[in-house]
Amino acid sequence: MASRKLLLLPGDGIGPEAMAEVRKLIAAMNERLGAGFETEEGLVGGCAYDAHGQAISEEDMAKAMAADAVLFGAVGGPKWDAVPYEARPEAGLLRLRKDMELFANLRPAICYPALAQSSSLKPEVVEGLDILIIRELTGGVYFGEPKTITDLGNGQKRAIDTQVYDTFEIERIAGVAFELARTRRNKVCSMEKRNVMKSGVLWNEVVTATHKAKYPDVELSHMLADAGGMQLVRWPKQFDVIVTDNLFGDMLSDVAAMLTGSLGMLPSASLGAPDAKTGARKALYEPVHGSAPDIAGKGIANPIAMIASFAMCLRYSFGLVAEADRLEKAIAAVLDDGLRTRDILSDGMTEVGTGAMGDAIVEKFLALSA
């Protein structure tokens, strides 16, 4: 059996609480299904700053580079509000994405049938929703230079962030979107703001050219990103795959999260390019939500985004497609049984804590695997 080396980076706040539930799944898969996962643990975010004065140590970066896949919890929190910008908890996540060249962030927003009532939108708007936001993750305003605050000396300061995209960065993320669309409903909507941003003009031009040259069979549409946000809330089922830049993707995926009932439901996969010889790709799996300081330590966080991120890991890093399908089915079945963490609770359902939700999913998963 091929090696299956996982690095677990639980992070801060509810990160470790959600990761504990994935650890249960890994142990169950090893003991009961002989999955052969080898795990290592590391620190990222505020906890790494407290231990090393950096949001991720060189040693843990090296472990991430050597792992077959990294599982990431969440980082950040008010405790670290005053730390230097370069060492803030979020810098650890940004360094992992950049140094591992994880340019493609897949954020699927699926409304499980049992949760159609939990969304703040009408059930008919979200029932059966299954869309995929593809967010460019290593470029744009997150990493563009200059990125500075300068004292102008007249009592004023000037802050600069720079949005930069080169052709190859847009081409490769568009390629991921078109390829994945072919495995789904064959539709891509590209979102940018070409009406005010030069990077939007180039984005639109390169996506259009990539489509024409290599993917003419896929249906392509374009939308200005602000209107895209509105359409996501108005009638989200019009979309299949959405491809967009780093910042718009960040914002639009939080919007999409609420279509599924809660930010605690949205998983993601951050993928690098496949190796030309082996086809293996660097990958990090991270829920879309953050460290949720308002509920951390209370045992009430929803672990489903983290568990569904592990399902994406099974599918994309290890080719364990049947197991990934089964894990997603187990999540749906537990929701059908009426179990709910507080964020997705509705009338007549049974409230459970993080650990009980994780236990129920592990049990269903093993029952489906028998």
Q: How far is the CB of 196 from ligand NAD (least distance, A)?
A: 26
In the chain, DSSP finds a helix count (H) and a strand count (E) of 12, 14
- The window from 152-160, 234-242, 291-299, 360-368 that contacts ligand NAD (CB under 6 A) reads 291-299
- The nearer residue to ligand IPM, 14 or 360, going by C-beta atoms, is 14
Q: Determine the Cα–Cα distance for residues 210 and 204; give it in Å rounded to an integer.
A: 10
**Can the peptide bond before residue 123 be classed as cis, meaning omega within 30 degrees of 0?**
no
- The nearer residue to ligand NAD, 14 or 335, going by C-beta atoms, is 14
Could you say whether residue 75 binds ligand NAD (CB under 6 A)? Answer: yes
Q: How many residues bind Mn ion (CB under 5 A)?
A: 1
Contact (CB, 8 A) for 268 and 109: no
Catalytic residue among 60, 68, 240, 250: 250
Q: Which two tokens stand for residue 306?
A: 């983290």
> Is 343 known to be catalytic?
no
Write the DSSP assignment of 207-236 as a string of letters.
HHHHHHHH-TTSEEEEEEHHHHHHHHHH-G
Q: How far is the CB of 296 from ligand NAD (least distance, A)?
A: 8
Q: Kindly write out the interface string for residues 37-76 of this chain, putting x where it contacts ligand IPM by CB under 6 A and - elsewhere.
A: ----------------------------------------
> Is 142 known to be catalytic?
yes
From 58, 86, 151, 294, residue interacting with ligand NAD (rule: CB under 6 A): 294
> Is 254 known to be catalytic?
yes
Write the DSSP assignment of 293-336 as a string of letters.
TTTTTTT----HHHHHHHHHHHHHTT--HHHHHHHHHHHHHHHH
Q: Which two tokens stand for residue 127?
A: 């029932």
- The nearer residue to ligand IPM, 170 or 266, going by C-beta atoms, is 266
Catalytic residue among 49, 112, 142, 285: 142
What residues numbered 231-260 form the site for Mn ion, per CB under 5 A?
250
Could you say whether residue 14 binds ligand NAD (CB under 6 A)? Answer: yes
Q: What angle do CA 69, 269, 254 make, to 5 degrees?
A: 145
Give 189's contacts (C-beta < 8 A, 6+ positions apart): 220, 221, 222, 223, 228, 239, 240, 241, 242, 243
Contact (CB, 8 A) for 90 and 75: yes
What residues numbered 72-101 form the site for ligand IPM, per CB under 6 A?
90, 93-94
Contact (CB, 8 A) for 277 and 173: no
Q: How far is the CB of 97 from Mn ion (least distance, A)?
A: 12
Tell me the binding residues. 77-90, 97, 107, 135, 226, 250, 254, 290-302
Contact (CB, 8 A) for 48 and 55: yes
Q: How far is the CB of 80 from ligand NAD (least distance, A)?
A: 8
Q: What angle do CA 307, 311, 317 make, to 5 degrees?
A: 130
From 241, 288, 360, 362, residue interacting with ligand IPM (rule: CB under 6 A): 288
Q: Look up residue 162 and give its amino acid.
A: T
Could you say whether residue 250 binds ligand IPM (CB under 6 A)? Answer: yes
Catalytic residue among 254, 325, 329, 359: 254
Write the DSSP assignment of 163-181 as a string of letters.
----HHHHHHHHHHHHHHH
Tell me the binding residues for Mg(2+). 226, 250, 254
Q: How far is the CB of 340 from ligand IPM (least distance, A)?
A: 24
Q: How far is the CB of 276 from ligand NAD (least distance, A)?
A: 30
Q: What is the DSSP letter of 343?
A: G
Q: Residue 91: count other Cβ atoms within 10 Å of its Cβ.
A: 21
Residues designated catalytic: 142, 193, 226, 250, 254
Name the site residues for Mn ion (rule: CB under 5 A): 250
Name the site residues for ligand NAD (rule: CB under 6 A): 14, 74-77, 90, 93, 262-264, 286, 289-295, 301-302, 305, 343
Name the site residues for ligand IPM (rule: CB under 6 A): 90, 93-94, 250, 288, 290
